[in-house]
Structure 1
C-alpha cells in the first residue's frame, strides 16, 4: 500500500508515453502496460502514483509484479493521481476498467491510497484475446477482469480463460464452430430479453455443468476437449465443451418461460422435449433428469410482472418465474445468476 499527501504533492502532468485501456481490462494490467510504455518497472511506476515512498512490504512488492494473478484498487484521490499519470479523464478509466467501479473503491478521501491484494475480492483475471489487443496497438500480455473465468472471442474464434498453464493467446476454436455459434446465440438471448436472457442461459449452463460432472465421458464433450488439445476431464475444459448444449437448452427454457401454461401436462411436455434433446446428444436421460426437474420446480408458477426486482425496467426483458427470482442474482458469475445451486 502507498499513502500520498493530498493535492499539494500529486502528479502535475501525464507520463510521456500514453496507452489506452482495453474495454474490461483489469486495472493492474493497464498500469503494468503504462509503466512499461514509459520504460519503468511496475514497482517503480507505483511509487510515482503521487508523491511519497513505496511500501516497505516485500510481500506488496512481489504481488505487484504479477498483474496476471492480482488486481490493483485505489481510493478517490488515488484514481485522480492515476488518471493524471495516464493522461486520461478519470471517467474514461472508470468506464473501461471494471476494477475502478464504485463498489471496488477504497475508502478515504484524504491521502491517495492504492492496494494490490493477492487475489481480487471478486471476478477472474482472464487473458485478453491477443488479436483483439494487437488491433488496438497492444503488443504485450493484457488481462480482463471478468465475472467468469473465461470468455469467447467470436471475432477471432478464440477461447480465453484464467488458466496460467497454457499459452496466453488462448485456445483456437477453429475446429469447434459450434462453440462460437453458441456464444453468438447467448448474445442474441441477451439482446432480445436483457438480463432475463442471460439468467436463463445461466440456468441452462448450470444444468449442462451438472450433466458433465455426472457423465464427463460423453463423446461429443471428449471430442471437443481433444480438438483443443485439453485433457477431457479437466475442470478447465468443462465450460468450453458444454457451451453448445447450454445455449440450445437456454432457448428451450425460454420457450417454457414465455408460456403461461405451467400445469402438470405443460411441464411434462417440456420435460419430454428436454429429454429428447438429451437423447440426441447421447446423454443418459435418467442420470441427467434431476437438474431439469429442479429447474421446473423453481419455474412451476408463471411470472408476476408486478413483483419484478427494482432494477427491472420491462424494456426487452422477460418476466421470470417467482421461484427463479427468489434464488438468482441479477449480476455476478453464472452460478450466482442461476436459480440452481
Structure 2
C-alpha cells in the first residue's frame, strides 16, 4: 500500500498514495518570502548536516541531464533552480515540516505553472537556469533578521530588486559585492521604488503596467545617451561602470518614476485629443530638459507612447466611469502587453 504522511499543526498525517519521508527533518529552515526553491532546499539540507545529494534522495528521482550532478548544483546555487511534480512537493513539505500551501506561498518556483508533469512517483528537476525569472541575491540584512546566515537567493521577475528598508540594490551579479549595493547616497532611487509600489498598490496590475511603460521609455533614453551626467554620477556612487548593462535599471529608476506620474495624469484625463497630446508632450520634454537629456534624441519613445494612448476607450467616455476611479482606466495601448509577468520591459506595451 502506498502511503506517506503530512504534518499539520504539529501532527504527522498519512497521505494516501504517497511513498517517501514520513516525518520532518530534525532542524527546520523557514523559507524567505520570494526565495528560490533551490536556495531553500540548500539551506534545509545544510541545517541538518546533509549534502545536497543525500537530501535529494529523500525528495524523489531526478530527471534531466543536470539533475544528476548534485555536487555541481550545490556549488552554484546562484545559477540553478529546482522544480518538482505534485508528489515531489508533498515529499518536500514533509521534510520541511510545513504544509505544501505554505511553501507555495513563499517559494515562487513551486507555483502551479512550474509544476513538473506526472502524478505517479515523486520527481524533481534542477535546470541550470530558471524557466522564468532571475535568481537575485537576497538582502543579507533581511535574511539575518529571519535568522538566515548563509547566502540565499530570491526568484524574481527582474534581474534586480530594491530593499527599501535597508536601502540596498540587490541584483543577479555574480561578482562582489554580493551583499547588495548601498543606496544611501541615492535616496531618489529608493523613493522611485516606493512610487512604483504605490502605483501597484493603488491601481493593481494597471499601475504596474503603467510604470513598465515609463521604465521602457527611460531605458530607451539610456541606450541612446548613456553618458548623461546624472546617470553617470549615480553609477559612480555605487562603484559601477557607467556604461554597463547592470547599471541601467538603477540609474534610470528615478526618471522612470517621475515619468510614470506624468503618464498617470494623461491616463486619467478625460480628453486625449491632438491638443491634449501636444500639451502632454510639452510637459514631458520640459522634464527631459530639466534632466539634461537630448529632447530630439528622446522624443521618439514619447511619441510612440502617445500614439498608443491618444484616444480614450468607450468605457472611459461614459460619465459613470469617471466619477469613481477604483482602478486606473488604461487606454487601449495597454491591451497589447507582451507578458503579464516577465521583466519590467517585457510588461511594457512599448516592447
User: What TM-score, normalized to structure 1?
Assistant: 0.92
Worse-matched range after superposition: 28-37 or 181-190: 181-190
Q: 1:118 aligns with which of 125, 128, 131?
A: 128
Does the C-alpha gap of structure 1 residues 216 and 16 become closer, same or farther in structure 2, counting only changes over 3 Å?
A: same
Q: Is residue 60 from structure 1 mapped to residue 66 from structure 2 by the alignment? A: no
Q: Tell me the SS of whatever aligns to 2:297.
A: helix
Q: 1:89 aligns with which of 87, 99, 118?
A: 99
Render the CA deviation track for 1:113-144: whole Å, top value 9, x for unaligned. 00001111110000000000000000000000
CA-CA distance at 1:251 after TM superposition: 0.4
Cross-structure match for 1:14? 24
Q: Tell me the SS of whatever aligns to 1:88.
A: coil
Q: Is the 8 A contact 1:304 1:322 kept in 2?
A: no
Q: Distance in 2 between matches of 1:85 and 1:251?
A: 47
Worse-matched range after superposition: 204-213 or 187-196: 187-196
Worse-matched range after superposition: 326-335 or 184-193: 326-335
Q: Is the 8 A contact 2:63 2:125 kept in 1?
A: no
CA-CA distance at 1:7 after TM superposition: 4.4
Note the 1:267-286 alignment, pairs <5 A: 267-286=277-296
Does the C-alpha gap of structure 1 residues 139 and 326 become closer, same or farther in structure 2, counting only changes over 3 Å?
A: same
Q: Tell me the SS of whatever aligns to 1:145.
A: strand
Q: Distance in 2 between matches of 1:59 and 1:316?
A: 51
CA-CA distance at 1:146 after TM superposition: 0.4
CA-CA distance at 1:332 after TM superposition: 2.7
Q: 2:330 aligns with which of 309, 314, 320?
A: 320
Q: Is residue 72 from structure 1 mapped to residue 82 from structure 2 by the alignment? A: yes
Cross-structure match for 1:310? none
Q: 1:127 aligns with which of 133, 137, 142?
A: 137
Q: 2:184 aligns with which of 148, 171, 174?
A: 174
Q: Is the 8 A contact 1:43 1:65 kept in 2?
A: no
Q: 2:162 aligns with which of 142, 145, 152?
A: 152
Note the 1:163-312 alignment, pairs <5 A: 163-305=173-315
List structure 1 runs of 4+ shifted beyond 4 angstroms: 52-59
- Structure 1, unaligned stretches of length 5 or more? 1-5, 307-313
Cross-structure match for 2:9? none
Q: Is the 8 A contact 1:157 1:174 kept in 2?
A: yes
- Structure 2, unaligned stretches of length 5 or more? 1-15, 317-323
Cross-structure match for 2:117? 107
Q: Is the 8 A contact 1:304 1:319 kept in 2?
A: no
Q: Distance in 2 between matches of 1:262 and 1:134?
A: 50
Q: Distance in 2 between matches of 1:219 and 1:244?
A: 14
CA-CA distance at 1:171 after TM superposition: 0.3
Render the CA deviation track for 1:242-268: whole Å, top value 9, x for unaligned. 000000000000000001211111000
Q: Is the 8 A contact 2:189 2:250 kept in 1?
A: yes
Q: Distance in 1 between matches of 2:200 and 2:66?
A: 45
Does the C-alpha gap of structure 1 residues 316 and 39 become closer, same or farther in structure 2, counting only changes over 3 Å?
A: farther
Q: Is residue 40 from structure 1 mapped to residue 50 from structure 2 by the alignment? A: yes
Q: Tell me the SS of whatever aligns to 1:252.
A: helix
Q: Tell me the SS of whatever aligns to 1:236.
A: helix
Render the CA deviation track for 1:49-77: whole Å, top value 9, x for unaligned. 25x79999786332354221110000000
User: What TM-score, normalized to structure 2?
Assistant: 0.89
Q: Tell me the SS of whatever aligns to 1:217.
A: coil
Q: Tell me the SS of whatever aligns to 2:155.
A: strand
Q: 1:27 aligns with which of 9, 12, 37?
A: 37
CA-CA distance at 1:148 after TM superposition: 0.6
Cross-structure match for 1:311? none
